[in-house]
Structures are given as structure tokens and as C-alpha cells.
């Protein structure tokens, strides 16, 4: 997991909005405040992920209300989605200055600082380390229940080299705090620390506990990914099968099972069934393009020594993307059957 990639995913997909009362002068004729109406329109655009349409309206509103916290936060989020870290930093920094007691503002500020650190040279990134840590620590101090900030510090301390502040013991401290707030997050955090430090048995124990306690798609995903990384595809397949039965509407699980089947040559018929479902129910939100599903089906039929079917699927994968390197390599293997 790249440093802070998890953090920003949390920022942008699990926002806990802090609502503020916006007071506008109302004249005796009860006229509608057009700027407030525009703000509501911008919020609608934002909630529908139409950030390009929302941004100019929020910017116009901010000119009239330069210290409006909600607008500053929305604009910071929009620039964050656009990966314009400098602009996002400017908005979140102002939020921290205007409302220094709001934990989530410090958390978001630390998150975009971390993303900027990923985008610049390592030497320049070192200058941001202190500010990143301070932002996350402040968030945890201001809000004893802030789960995301504690996750950020787990990752921060475990991935940062010891010479510049990294510390397994501090990472475990925040993982322990997570355990008190949310047992499943605690198990996932301890599993992550163990995995990063190449302690597969400890990682497996914690991820299995997370599945038992939480049982979410995230928990199952961490466990099957752990097995896959540690060359245990049979166990990964078993976990994925259990997960897809529980969360049949999670289409990405169908692809992942098909991937294991194609890559390792196990559970082949099961893999075909899952990939057929993945293709049938595919939407861009599933994350993995359909050409990869075609490629995995070709792999499965090659394992089954069914050259004709394998050739059909690999041709379909290459039809969608002629420069698909993995598919081109698979085609050569199929041709040798």
C-alpha cells in the first residue's frame, strides 16, 4: 500500500461532513437569497460527483463569504479529487486556521500533505513529514474517536524509516487505540503492521479475526490478498468463495475469484461461472475493465486444454485493447497448445 494512498481514499470516500449554520439577511419581502440557492445547486452537483460544475459556483460563493467553512471544505475536496494537491492544501490550511479545534480539518490537511509528498522528490517530501505527523496527531487529540486519523498514523509510523521518525511501537500504539474504538479496525491495523514486517502468521491471525468480527468485503479482501501474496491460492480461493456467497452483489469479488482460477489453474469451472457473472453485471465502478475478464477466461480454458475457447476469449481481449501485453503473451502460449 503506497504511503497515504489509503488515507486519501478515506478522505474522499468516507467524509464526515461537519455542518455549519449559514445565516443570511432576509428582507421584509421574503425574497429568496439567490446565493444560497446557488450554494444548494453546487452541493447537488458535488453530491452527484459533478465537480467541474460545482467548483465555479462554490468559488463565486466564497468571494461573497470568504471565511465560510463549508465552502472552503467543498473546494478543498474538489481539488483533492482532481489531485491538485497545492490548491487542496491551501483550502484545508485555511480551514485549520479558521477552525483549529475541528479534528477532521487537521486530518484532511495531513492527508493532502501526504499526497503532495508522494508527488514530489523524496528530498522535498522530507520537509513535509513534520507537518503531516502534526496534523494527524492533532486530529487524534481533538477527537478521541477519530478512526481515520489513527489509521493514518498507523500507516505513517510503519512506513516511515526509523531514521526520520518511523516507529513500529508507535504504529502499534495507534492500532491498539483503534482496537478500543472498533475491534475490526484494530485487527485490520495489526494485520497490516504484521504484513508490512513480514510476519505472515500474525497477519493471517489478525485478518481472520477481522473476518470473524466484522465480516465486511474489506475484511475478506485483506485476507484473500494476504493468502495470494503468500503463495496460498487454494486458501485465497476458499476465502473469495465464502465472500462472494455472502456479498453476491459485489461484482468485483466475481472477478477476483476468476483471476485466482486463471492465474493458478484451480477452481476452473467456478472461475468461469464467476467471470461470466462479472462480464454480465459489469459497470465501470467495478474497477477492472472487461478485457481483463476476457483474458482470465482465456487462461482458464487454456488450463482446461480447450484451445478453441481459449483462442476466442484472448481474441476478444485483444479486440478491446490490441496492445494488451499480458493478453499478447497469453496468445502465444495458447497457440502452442
Question: Average pLDDT, whole number, for the chain?
Answer: 88
Point out the least confidently predicted range of 28-42, 131-145, 163-177, 183-197.
28-42
Alpha-carbon gap, residue 22 to 19, rounded angstroms: 9
Say if 7 falls within a structural domain. yes
Q: What are the pLDDT digits (tens) for 293-307?
A: 999 999 999 999 999
Say if 101 falls within a structural domain. yes
Say if 87 falls within a structural domain. yes
Global model pTM greater than 0.85:
no
The CATH number assigned to the domain holding 65 equals: 1.25.40.10
Say if 213 falls within a structural domain. no
Say if 300 falls within a structural domain. no
Contact 247, 217 (CB under 8 A): yes
CA atoms within 13 A on the CB side of 164: 14
Please state, as a whole number, how many other Cβ atoms lie within 10 Å of the Cβ of residue 238.
16
- Domain that includes residue 147, residue range: 1-12+36-157
Say if 148 falls within a structural domain. yes
Q: How many domains does the chain have?
A: 1
Say if 152 falls within a structural domain. yes
Say if 111 falls within a structural domain. yes
- The proportion of the chain whose per-residue pLDDT surpasses 70, expressed as a percent, equals 88
Q: What are the pLDDT digits (tens) for 205-236?
A: 999 999 999 999 999 999 999 999 999 999 99
Contacts 24+ apart (CB under 8 A), 115-121: 115/4, 115/7, 115/8, 115/80, 115/83, 115/85, 116/85, 116/86, 116/89, 117/3, 117/4, 118/2, 118/3, 118/4, 118/5, 119/83, 119/85
Q: Which secondary-structure segment (H or E) carries 93?
A: helix 85-98
| DSSP label at residue 34 | H
Amino acid at each position: 500500500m503506497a504511503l497515504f494512498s489509503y488515507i486519501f481514499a478515506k478522505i474522499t470516500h468516507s467524509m464526515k461532513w461537519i455542518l455549519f449554520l449559514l445565516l443570511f439577511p432576509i428582507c421584509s419581502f421574503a425574497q429568496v437569497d439567490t446565493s444560497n440557492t446557488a450554494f444548494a445547486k453546487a452541493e447537488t452537483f458535488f453530491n452527484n460527483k459533478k465537480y467541474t460544475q460545482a467548483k465555479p459556483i462554490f468559488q463565486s460563493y466564497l468571494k461573497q463569504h470568504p471565511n465560510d467553512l463549508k465552502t472552503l471544505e467543498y473546494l478543498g475536496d474538489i481539488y483533492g479529487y482532481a489531485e491538485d494537491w497545492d490548491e487542496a492544501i491551501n483550502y484545508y490550511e485555511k480551514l485549520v486556521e479558521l477552525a483549529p479545534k475541528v479534528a477532521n480539518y487537521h486530518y484532511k490537511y495531513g492527508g493532502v500533505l501526504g499526497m503532495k509528498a508522494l508527488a514530489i522528490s523524496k528530498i522535498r517530501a522530507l520537509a513535509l513529514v513534520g507537518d503531516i505527523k502534526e496534523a494527524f496527531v492533532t486530529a487524534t487529540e481533538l477527537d478521541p474517536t477519530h478512526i481515520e486519523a489513527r489509521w493514518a498514523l498507523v500507516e505513517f509510523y510503519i512506513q516511515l524509516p526509523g531514521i526520520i521518525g518511523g516507529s513500529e511501537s508507535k504504529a502499534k500504539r495507534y492500532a491498539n487505540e483503534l482496537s478500543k474504538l472498533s475491534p475490526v479496525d484494530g485487527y485490520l491495523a495489526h494485520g497490516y503492521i504484521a504484513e508490512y514486517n513480514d510476519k505472515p502468521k500474525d497477519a493471517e491471525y489478525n485478518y481472520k479475526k477481522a473476518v470473524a468480527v466484522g465480516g465486511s468485503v474489506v475484511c475478506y479482501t485483506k485476507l484473500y490478498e494476504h493468502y495470494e501474496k503468500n503463495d496460498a491460492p487454494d486458501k485465497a480461493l476458499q476465502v473469495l468463495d465464502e465472500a462472494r456467497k455472502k456479498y453476491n452483489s459485489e461484482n468485483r469479488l466475481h472477478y477476483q475469484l476468476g483471476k485466482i482460477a486463471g492465474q493458478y489453474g484451480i477452481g476452473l469451472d467456478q472461475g468461469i461461472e464467476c467471470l461470466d457473472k462479472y462480464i454480465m453485471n459489469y459497470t465501470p465502478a467495478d474497477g477492472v475493465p472487461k478485457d481483463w475478464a476476457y483474458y482470465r477466461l482465456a487462461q482458464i480454458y487454456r488450463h482446461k486444454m480447450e484451445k478453441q475457447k481459449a483462442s476466442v476469449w484472448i481474441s476478444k481481449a485483444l479486440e478491446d485493447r490490441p496492445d494488451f501485453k499480458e493478453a499478447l503473451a497469453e496468445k502465444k502460449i495458447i497457440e502452442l497448445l
